[in-house]
Structure formats: C-alpha cells, structure tokens
Chain A
Amino acid sequence: MKTLWFICVVIATQCWSCNYPQDPDHTLDKIKNQTIRVGISESPGLTIVDDDQPSGTEVELIKGYAQTINSQIEWIEGSQELIVELLKEHEVDVAIGGYSKQTAFKKHIGLTRPYKTERIKVGATDKSKIPDEIEGKEIVVEKASHALVAVVKHKGIPIWKDRVIQTDGLVAGSEEDLISQGLFVSEYNLGTVEHVIAIPKGENGLLKSIENYILREWEKKEIKESL
C-alpha cells in the first residue's frame, strides 16, 4: 500500500510539472530553440509556395508558433502524400497545406484542434432567393473547392467557375467569402471544413504546445483582425 501511494505521488508531481504529456519521440524537445522542419503543400489561400518565401494563413500561423518556441523554420515542399510519409518517418515535425479534420490521412497522422472552422453556405443577392434545400437547383461554385463537394453531396447541380462572381442565381462558398461579396447567406450549412495542422502521430507534447498557441494567440489575433 505504501509503495502504491509513493507511485501516486510521483505520478502526480510529474503530471503537475509543465512537460506532461510528453512526446514518445521527443519532437518538442528537439525543435525548441532549434530548427523546426515544416512540410508544406500548396493549397490556395492557406499556403502559397513561391520561389523563396511561402505565404498564406497557415504559413503565418506556423511562423507565429515557431517564434513562441524560439525556433528557425526549414521549409520542405511536397505533395500532401509525400509530406504525410515524411511525418510518419519523423522527417518533418509539422505539416501544413489544407489539412482538415476529415482528411483521408487521419489514420496516419496526428491533428490539432481546428484553428479555423469554415462554414459552407448558399448565397444570393436577395434573402428571398435562398431556397430551403438545394436539391436539383443550379448553383455557381468555384471549380476546385470544398463548396463544390458540399453542393454535389446535397444533390445540387454545380456550375463551375474559376472564381465565384456576382450572379443573379445561387452561389455556394465559405460564409466569409459570400458575405464579403455583399451576398445574403443561408441559415443552414451545406458543410463545414475544420482546418487543422498535421503532426506526427502520438506526439502529445507537441500537440499540446501547438494547441496552446492556437488558443492563446492565434484565435485572439484572428478576432482582432476581423474587428
């Protein structure tokens, strides 16, 4: 019984200290004050990979995070599939480029909490034009977008456009984009995309560290900007 209490006390003191949970492969320890290897795949809006410096929302997020742990970033560019393989082998520490909570790779990688949830809605120039459901209705969507997937899933008839432009008909897209174009949007969602950052599976210390950044700094920053 005494040894049992002893074990409990040891565990409790360990857990109260900051480095709990720990990484099985010590990723966080390795990248702190060192170099963080970031796998990056092109994903319009979120990550843009140019000749020198990548840019985009997710790039900003990772740059912000790297600052908090005082690390340099080394960019490693490749397709999502390649980057996922590198994550599995611990050859990259973090990956960005359009991963969502529903990603087909989710069995092989760890995912953070969403740093942003995109709601896909139906928009129109007039509120009365928005239908209760979109089944069998023609809807303008961007060609390569989550909105297209959502429209097809709801049995709407998609009309492809390279960019969503002002029309008299119905448009589907992320709530933000639709509102910024001055459109009225539906109450209901056609779908949601929860944007996340990918990490090696089971690196729970790193996960906690990134999630803390997302919650304490990133989300506050986002709110400030939107105001």
Chain B
Amino acid sequence: MGEERDKGKFINTESHELPPAQKEILAKGKKLEWITIFYLVTVIVSIYFVLGSSQAMKAAFLEDVLSIVPSVLFLIAYFFYDRRTPDHRYLYGLHKVFSVAFLLGSFALLGIGLFSFYDSSIALLKREHPTIGNIYIFGYSVWLGWVMILALLWSFIPAMILGRKKLPIAKKLHNKILFTDANTQKADWMTAGAAIIGIIGIGFGLWWADSVMAILISLSIMKDGFTRTKGAITDIIEQIPTKIDKDDEKHPLDFQIYWFFKNKDWVKDVRIRLRENGAVFFGEVFIIPSDPGMHADHLIDKIEEAYKEVRKIDWKVHDITIQPVKAFK
C-alpha cells in the first residue's frame, strides 16, 4: 500500500557488499552455526537421558537447551538480512536485525544464569542430597555418575573447539551475535566441567559439591549475560561504536574517520557522529570548509569524492552523510 506514492521520493542506503575475504569467513561462520545446532541437539538428548537428581546436571542441561538460542538467532538474522536489500520501505537496510538478535541472545544467556543460580541456591539451602543410582551392564553394576560424566564430556570437548573457532570469525566480521554465541559455547564447556567435578564430589559423599559447583557456574554465566545484554541495549540506543570484545572501549574507526576529514586541505574543521547498525557503521560528518567563498559546485565535487574515499577505509564504514556548515553549535 502506498508503494506507488513512495516511488521516487526516498533514497535508501546502498546495499552492503562484504569484501570477498569476509564473505568467505561468513560462509564458514554459517557452517559452524549449523554444526553447533546439530551438535547441541545430540548433547541435549544424551544429557536428558542421564539427568537424575543432580543439581549441576540440571544446570548443564538447561544451559545446553538455552545455548541453542544464539546460534538459531544468528541464522534467522542472516535469513532476513539476505532476503531483503535496502528499499523504499527499509531505507537503512536490515543491518539492525543483528542488533536485535544480539539483544535476544544475550538476554537468553542472562536468563540461563539467573535460573540456574536460583535453582541451585534453593537446592543448597534445602540441603538436598542428590541420589544417584546404578545401571547394570552385562551383570556389572556401573554407578550412574560415570555415565553422567560421559555425557558431560560430550558436552565439554566439542563445545570448546567450536567456541574457539567462532571467536576469531566473530571479531573479523564485527558480528556481536556470533560473538555472543562463541561465548555461549564457553559457558557450555565450563558448565560441563563444573558439573563433572560436582558429580565426582557426590561420589566422595560431598553432597554439597554439586550445588556449589552449579552456583559457581551460574555466577559466571550471569556476569557474562549481564555485560552482553547491557552492550546490546547500548548499541540499540546508539552509543558510539565499540569494540566487539570490550563494550567500554571505543572502536578505533571513529578516530580514523575524524582524521581522514581533518587532514583534507579544503576542510578547516570537522565534527563526526557515528552509530553501529549491526555489523556496519552509519554516521554524519559536519564540515567547515577552509575557504568560505568556495564555489558550491566545487564543494559538492569535493564532498562526493570524500564520500567515496572514506568508505574505502574499511568495509564497516557503510553510510556517511557529509554536511557543510558555517560553524558548530
């Protein structure tokens, strides 16, 4: 509706093309996410069958169920992003689907931590002693704790490898949801490790080992989830672009863009404004030309030339509006 009316009225941002090297990295990232989802399903099934009454096992199980969320969000975000190029309806493109996915993914991580903390604390306060029975294989009795540890090892080693592989990809693509996902895998293997210690502890008659380990795990997940959720919210309310792994550190590109314009001989002074739209940056540049009597035609040429050049600094510099002014407010 109204599409005819809108035609020719708006100008949308250009559709974003990743450089070939980044495209390759992205394809690798997507493949890893599919592997992750498939792998996590096998982990969830194997842990479900040996769950028992161990608190740490329960925490690990929940953790694994919820840790599918970031991977799925990443793929869903890409699905929408790929399907729709910027048009008269989405003038700024769909870059922000990644910001939304990042928020939901970090919130899931925070939720995992909070729930597991609550559940394990209650178990500890109630002094619940986990009962772990035995299974019988060919007449030999095997303590179920060992079977649990086996399932946890399956949730430990591959998660560690996947997380380590994703981390550099997320950094190169400046993709915060992928980064969150890599960290979720870290939470996965840490949870599994702590649960293993908890179960060995139960075997030594230390009933509290299990809950205490589960609480320690949940604290670390909670801290991670909190910083990430905070980062996602500040991205959406458009704080200055930050580094992917340190939300309190500015991204170095703002510095580069400022000096790019400042060093132009036709520019007397410059101020910039930048924001993150998913993996790319949008922004405005305000310029006081050095020659106030500069011919308008000449100035427009200079601006258009600078626009093309500034985008070559980095593939993340996507859309910059350059505005000549007489003075800064």
Contact = CB atoms under 8 A, between A and B. Distances in A.
Report, as a range, how many residues of chain B touch the other chain.
10 to 19
A110 B133 CA distance: 9
Nearest to A215: B136
A68 to B, nearest CB: 14
Contact of B205 (A21, A112, A201): A21
A204 B141 contact: no
B207 A24 contact: yes
Interface stretch (B88-96, B124-132, B216-224): B124-132
Contacts of B141: 208, 211-212, 215
Interface in B118-170: 128-134, 136, 139, 141, 143, 145
A21 B202 contact: yes
Chain A interface helix/strand/loop/mixed:
mixed
A208 B205 contact: no
Interface string B198-235: 00101111110000000000000000000000000000
B203 A201 contact: no
Contact of A211 (B129, B134, B200, B207): B134
A110 B205 CA distance: 15
Contacts of B204: 14, 20-22
Contact of A202 (B129, B134, B143): B129
A22 to B, nearest CB: 4
Nearest to B199: A21
Contacts, number: 68
A113 B134 contact: yes
Interface of A: 11, 14-15, 20-24, 26, 110-113, 199-205, 207-208, 211-212, 215
20 contacts: A15-B200, A21-B143, A21-B205, A22-B205, A24-B205, A199-B131, A200-B129, A201-B130, A202-B128, A202-B130, A202-B202, A202-B207, A204-B132, A204-B205, A205-B205, A207-B133, A208-B134, A211-B133, A212-B141, A215-B136
Nearest to A113: B133
Given A24-B206, A110-B129, 10 more contacts: A20-B203, A22-B203, A199-B131, A202-B131, A202-B202, A204-B131, A204-B143, A204-B203, A207-B133, A208-B134
A14 B145 CA distance: 14
A84 to B, nearest CB: 14
The 9 tightest CB contacts between A and B, nearest first, are A202-B129, A22-B205, A110-B131, A21-B203, A24-B207, A24-B205, A201-B129, A202-B207, A211-B134
A41 to B, nearest CB: 20
Contacts of B206: 24
Contacts of A215: 136, 139, 141
A23 B205 contact: yes
Interface in B76-135: 128-134
Contacts of A22: 203-205
B203 A207 contact: no
A15 B205 CA distance: 12
A21 B149 CA distance: 14
A24 B130 CA distance: 10
A20 B144 CA distance: 12
A26 B205 contact: yes
A15 B134 contact: no
A21 B205 CA distance: 7
A9 to B, nearest CB: 13
Contacts of A21: 132, 143, 145, 202-205
A160 to B, nearest CB: 37
Interface in B271-311: none
Contacts of B129: 24, 110, 200-203
B56 to A, nearest CB: 14
Given A15-B203, A21-B205, A208 B131 contact: no
Nearest to B136: A215
A207 B131 contact: yes
A211 to B, nearest CB: 5
